[in-house]
Structure 1
Amino acid sequence: MFVLAELKDTVRILPKKFKRKLNDSITDELNRKLANKVYHNVGLCIALHDITKIQESFIFPGDGSSHTKVIFRYIVFRPFIEEILIGKIRSCSVDGVHVTLGFFEDIVIPPHKLQHPSRFDQTEQAWVWEYDTGDGEKHDLFMDAGEIIRFRVVSETFTETLPTGPKTGADAAEKSEAKNVSPYALGAAIDEPGLGLLSWWENT
């Protein structure tokens, strides 16, 4: 679920921080810049693990800050495809079951990846697995918000989001829609025995 990613960056340190140890200033700056942010095609950055190389620092004309190239390792959330994880149902919609891990919420189990057969109950706003009891009857198993769920990661999507200036009219609506696009999302599945709500399998 978590991996170490080796990255490199040029860190800018303001003059007011020159009294501190360079290593501490770089650590603070890297965490400020990357923590809880998605690094494209890498994953969700969690925290700095260590700094492996600090190169020379430079001060450019007109800028009193120092600029230091560093190579470092960062703890990143990026589960591998087919990995089994346990989360909590955040909500349900016609698009599927939305799952959260607490620190990461962009996980969706689409309808075709639910236990079969399943249906969406508009009144309860929940997906329901129509479980066959084996004696010709079906028992409705609801997937309610807040339930603990075990799922398999089947896909990942990185979307590059670029900053945009203020817009009006139709452009503003387009900008608002773009803001709702997650830079990193996971697709999941529960369409096999042992997956789904933990309560389903407690007595099996």
Structure 2
Amino acid sequence: MFQKVTLDHKVFIKPRLFSKNDYNAIVTALSEIYGNKVVPELGLCVSIDRLLKVGDRIVPQSGDGSYEVAVTFSAYFFCPFIGEIIEGNISGMTSESVKVSLGFFDDISVPKSLLPGNTVFDEVEQVFVWNVDEDIQFRIETGLKVWIRVKEIKFKSAATSDDSTEPVMSIRASMDESGLGAPSWWLEGEDQAEAEEDDVEDGEEESDE
């Protein structure tokens, strides 16, 4: 789900960072550039790991005291592989799809076609219901903890206008296989009831945070 990547970058160190030592000043500047940002084909940068190489300072004729330095560094990116199973919580839904959040990344959707078979949308309660058989139904509701399989990762095209509502990075996932969806679906009896309660409570706690 996370990968360590090595990158090169020319970073400007502003006077406001001069109170830090060189290493920390550069890491801070890199974090401001990459932290919680999506880099196409790499994913969402979650942290700067460490500096691997630092070049000589170059002082431009800006007059403000800033300097430029070329660095090689490693950073961790969130970008799950196709087919990977990840855990998240349902954050919302429409009649066409379910939205899933990981807490630090929200642009994950499970289209209706990739929900379990015999799943229908309840227009009154605005939730999906999986009709396992005549006697067993499971509600797919906001806050529910679920396991999903990554089917597609899409990065916003550079040709797309800046004012587009399309997310820079989005994931399409599925819940239509045995073992996917809420963990409580695959338990029985009292264990199932307890797990269903825990699934929703866990999701509500994470949403509050």
> Which TM-score band applies after superposition, normalised by the shorter structure?
0.7 to 0.9
Correspondence for 1:149 among 140, 146, 150: 146
Structure with greater proportional strand content: 1
Q: What's the secondary structure of 1:196's corresponding residue?
A: coil
Distance in 2 of aligned mates of 1:32 and 1:60 = 21
User: Aligned ranges for residues 61-76 of structure 1 at < 5 Å?
Assistant: 61-63=61-63, 64-76=65-77
Scaled by the length of structure 2, the TM-score of the pair is 0.83
Q: Cα deviations across residues 84-139 of structure 1 (Å, max 9, x unaligned)?
A: 1111111111221100111111110011111012111111111111112xxxx253
Unaligned runs of 5+ in 1: 165-174
User: Alpha-carbon deviations, 1:145-169, whole Å to 9, x = none?
Assistant: 00111110111000046885xxxxx
- CA–CA distance in 2 between the matches of 1:123 and 1:200? 23
C-alpha distance in structure 1 between counterparts of 2:61 and 2:131, whole Å: 69
Determine if the alignment matches structure 1 residue 87 to structure 2 residue 88.
yes
Q: 1:127 to 1:60 in 2, by over 3 A?
A: same
Inter-partner Cα distance in structure 1 for 2:155 and 2:149? 18
Separation in 1, partners of 2:161, 2:120? 39
Could you tell me which residue of structure 2 aligns to residue 115 of structure 1?
A: 116
Distance in 1, matches of 2:148 and 2:51, equals 34
What is the letter of the counterpart of residue 49 of structure 2?
H
Paired residue type of 2:56: E
- Percent identity between matched residues is 32
Q: Over residues 156-186 of structure 1, what are the superposed CA-to-partner deviations in whole Å (9 max), with x where a residue is unaligned?
A: 000046885xxxxxxxxxx3xx1x3210111
* RMSD (Å), alpha carbons: 1.8
Taking the aligned partners of 2:57 and 2:124, their CA distance within structure 1 comes to 62
Corresponding letter in the other structure for 1:23: Y
Residue 185 (str. 1) matches residue 185 (str. 2):
no
Residue 56 of structure 1 corresponds to which residue in structure 2? 56
Distance 1:149 1:19 in 2: 46
User: Residue in 2 aligned with 1:169?
Assistant: none
CA distance in 2, matches of 1:59, 1:25: 16
Cα deviation, residue 140, structure 1: 2.5
Structure 1 pair 163–28 and aligned structure 2 pair: CA distance change class (3 A): farther
Following the alignment from structure 2 to structure 1, what is the Cα–Cα distance between the partners of residues 93 and 139? 11
What TM-score does the superposition give when structure 1 sets the normalisation length?
A: 0.85
Give 1:196's aligned amino acid.
Answer: G
Give, as a single letter, the amino acid of the residue that structure 1 aligns with 2:175.
Answer: I
Determine the C-alpha separation between the residues in 1 that align with 2:42 and 2:51.
Answer: 18
| Deviation, structure 1 residue 16 | 4.4
2:28 aligned counterpart, secondary structure: helix
Which one-letter code corresponds to 2:176 in the other structure?
Answer: D
Counting only pairs closer than 5 Å after superposition, residues 3-18 of structure 1 correspond to structure 2 as 3-18=3-18
Counterparts of 1:44 and 1:19, CA distance in 2: 29
